[in-house]
């Protein structure tokens, strides 16, 4: 999983925030529950203390102070209810102390002594042996005769603590479910929120120099996504304008360059036709004409590349067998290889169908073979392979020539690039052949790559989209050999 991705981070944050909220809420409910339970317990204890105070008051009216204990026992039986009751007089004597409860959960005798305070009612928490605690509520009673009593009631806090523990357990049990909902919900939300971004990316991917007039779909949501697609569209517009400008420039430059070349060639040719020229003059004119020819070739090549890169529509777009095209082309060029005693072998499948401009793809084969033959020494070997590989038609031209130094490999498709500057000119060409190959491949949604071992040979690999095989439909290739 890509931990740096926006999706991952958003889901992460979302889950953390949601779990944090859950934690806070849990803590708040826990505290509220504790307060409420303690409050109601305290209230109960105070009520009982007041009732007992009433009893003490009534009994003292009847001068029957000693019967208070019996009365309490009879009315409230604190030992059966796990309650604690103690009545102390101001002189320190204990008027009544409830017996130990049945469960022996606490020993009333060991509880801390009463605490007199100025207020009528106070409550406190007393620690019991064994780490347990007891809530004590005290009520101060002042009789008209001046006698003062402190009536204390108490209850162990076990029940409250058990309830709180139950709540905590419930919260913890809910945690995985909440975490799952947070992660799942977050993932779905983020995915939905980011899906327009994916769409924009996919649309942007489809737009290349060949279809710059297309625009991205703009979601009218008034948010960041709309701004993003609008901004991208503006950028594509500017690119489109730049491309159109350069296309116009190429057309103009083409015209401006070709016209003087035409004049030059025409005038030189008519001069060369002069009957009484010395052979030396004829030779010089011929040399000048050769240069004009080369210049015209360069202009042609450059403009061909520019037009291909600008995505100009191909002359034709038909399905054809790349293997057949390759072998027929190799056949036509066999003499070039024979001239250098180079063995050209054609291998691979037949019926490798691709779609496109046949003349231009043929030029790919021509240029690659020409290149291979040119840079392979006499008696070398050049291999041409065509095969189908997955959804790709693959054409490979391999030679055992001088190879290309690794540091120059990335540049072989650059315009005017030559591996061996010294042997350039007389080999013909201006270093545009491979650039043209690259541009043609790109115009066919394909690609070309070069690999090489210095001194042992090079391999050029062309990949084009394969079209579904047609069987009974035998497009017979017009063979120029006929």
Q: By CB under 8 A, is residue 417 in contact with another protein?
A: no
Q: Which residues of 362-375 are buried (b: 16+ CB within 10 A; e: fewer)?
A: bbbbbbbbbbbbbb
Q: By CB under 8 A, is residue 429 in contact with another protein?
A: yes
Q: By CB under 8 A, is residue 442 in contact with another protein?
A: no
Quick one: 44 exposed, middle or buried, by C-beta within 10 A (0-12, 13-18, 19+)?
A: middle
Q: By CB under 8 A, is residue 263 in contact with another protein?
A: yes
CA–CA distance, 386 with 326 (Å, rounded to integer): 8
CA–CA distance, 209 with 308 (Å, rounded to integer): 10
Q: By CB under 8 A, is residue 318 in contact with another protein?
A: no
Under 8 Å between Cβ of 418 and 431: yes
Q: By CB under 8 A, is residue 209 in contact with another protein?
A: no
Stretch that binds another protein, among 53-61, 235-243, 255-263, 406-414 (CB under 8 A): 255-263
Query: Could you tell me the CA-to-CA distances from 391 to 180, 226, 305, 324 in Å, in that order?
Result: 41, 36, 27, 19
Nearer to another protein, 160 or 292 (CB): 292
How far from the centroid of its chain's Cα atoms is residue 453's Cα?
A: 37
Q: By CB under 8 A, is residue 290 in contact with another protein?
A: yes
For the bound state, the minimum distance from the C-beta of residue 242 to another protein, rounded and expressed in Å, comes to 19
Q: By CB under 8 A, is residue 270 in contact with another protein?
A: yes
DSSP 42-64: HHHHHHHHHHHHHHHHHHHHTT-
Nearer to another protein, 159 or 267 (CB): 267
In 3D, which of 169, 183, 172 has the Cα closest to residue 23?
Answer: 172
Stretch that binds another protein, among 146-154, 155-163, 198-206, 365-373 (CB under 8 A): 365-373
For the bound state, the minimum distance from the C-beta of residue 427 to another protein, rounded and expressed in Å, comes to 8
The only residue of 436, 441, 450, 466 in contact with another protein, by rule CB under 8 A: 436
Query: Could you tell me the CA-to-CA distances from 233 to 108, 203, 228, 380, 430 in Å, in that order?
Result: 85, 11, 9, 53, 38
Quick one: 11 exposed, middle or buried, by C-beta within 10 A (0-12, 13-18, 19+)?
A: buried
For the bound state, the minimum distance from the C-beta of residue 265 to another protein, rounded and expressed in Å, comes to 5
Q: By CB under 8 A, is residue 143 in contact with another protein?
A: no
Q: By CB under 8 A, is residue 273 in contact with another protein?
A: yes
In 3D, which of 243, 432, 414, 438 has the Cα closest to residue 360?
Answer: 438
CA–CA distance, 467 with 350 (Å, rounded to integer): 13
The only residue of 19, 218, 261, 346 in contact with another protein, by rule CB under 8 A: 261
Q: By CB under 8 A, is residue 313 in contact with another protein?
A: yes
Nearer to another protein, 237 or 283 (CB): 283
Q: By CB under 8 A, is residue 420 in contact with another protein?
A: no
Under 8 Å between Cβ of 308 and 243: no
Nearer to another protein, 234 or 480 (CB): 480
Site residues for another protein per CB under 8 A? 251, 254-255, 257-259, 261-270, 272-275, 282-283, 285-290, 292-293, 296-297, 300-301, 303, 307, 312-315, 329, 332-333, 335-336, 339, 359-360, 362-363, 366-367, 370, 428-429, 432-433, 436, 480-482
């Amino acid at each position: 999983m890509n931990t740096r991705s926006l999706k991952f981070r958003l889901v992460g944050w979302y889950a953390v925030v949601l779990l944090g909220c859950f934690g806070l809420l849990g803590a708040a409910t826990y505290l509220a529950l504790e307060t409420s339970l303690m409050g109601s317990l305290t209230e109960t204890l105070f009520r009982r203390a007041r009732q007992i105070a009433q009893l003490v008051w009534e009994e003292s009216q009847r001068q029957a102070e000693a019967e208070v204990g019996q009365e309490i026992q009879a009315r409230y039986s604190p030992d059966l209810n796990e309650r604690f009751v103690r009545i102390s007089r101001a002189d320190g004597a204990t008027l009544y102390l409830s017996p130990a409860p049945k469960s022996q959960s606490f020993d009333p005798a060991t509880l801390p002594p009463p605490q007199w305070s100025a207020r009528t009612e106070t409550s406190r928490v007393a620690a019991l042996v064994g780490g347990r605690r007891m809530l004590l509520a005290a009520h101060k009673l002042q009789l008209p005769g001046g006698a003062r009593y402190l009536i204390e009631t108490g209850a162990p806090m076990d029940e409250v603590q058990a309830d709180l523990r139950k709540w905590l357990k419930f919260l913890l049990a809910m945690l995985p479910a909440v975490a799952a909902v947070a992660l799942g919900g977050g993932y779905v939300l983020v995915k939905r929120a980011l899906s327009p971004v994916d769409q924009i990316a996919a649309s942007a991917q489809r737009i290349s120099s060949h279809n710059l007039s297309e625009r991205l779909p703009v979601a009218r949501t008034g948010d960041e996504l709309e701004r993003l697609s609008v901004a991208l569209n503006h950028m594509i517009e500017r690119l489109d304008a730049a491309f159109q400008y350069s296309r116009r420039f190429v057309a103009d430059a083409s015209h401006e360059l070709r016209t003087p070349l035409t004049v030059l060639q025409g005038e030189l040719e008519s001069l060369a036709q002069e009957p009484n020229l010395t052979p030396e003059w004829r030779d010089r004119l011929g040399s000048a004409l050769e240069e004009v020819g080369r210049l015209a070739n360069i202009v042609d090549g450059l403009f061909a590349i520019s037009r291909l890169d600008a995505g100009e529509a191909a002359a034709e777009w038909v399905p054809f067998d790349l293997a057949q095209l390759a072998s027929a082309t190799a056949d036509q060029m066999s003499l070039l290889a024979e001239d250098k005693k180079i063995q050209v072998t054609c291998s691979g499948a037949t019926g490798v169908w691709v779609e496109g401009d046949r003349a231009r793809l043929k030029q790919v084969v021509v240029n690659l073979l020409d290149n291979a033959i040119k840079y392979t020494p006499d008696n070398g070997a050049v291999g041409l392979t065509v095969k189908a590989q997955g959804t790709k038609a693959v054409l490979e031209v391999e030679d055992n020539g001088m190879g290309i130094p690794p540091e120059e490999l990335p540049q072989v498709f650059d315009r005017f690039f030559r591996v061996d500057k010294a042997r350039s000119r007389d080999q013909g060409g201006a270093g545009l052949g491979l650039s043209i190959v690259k541009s043609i491949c790109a115009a066919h949604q394909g690609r070309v790559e070069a690999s090489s071992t210095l001194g042992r040979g090079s391999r050029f690999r062309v990949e084009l989209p394969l079209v579904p095989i047609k069987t009974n439909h035998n497009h017979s290739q017009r063979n120029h050999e006929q």
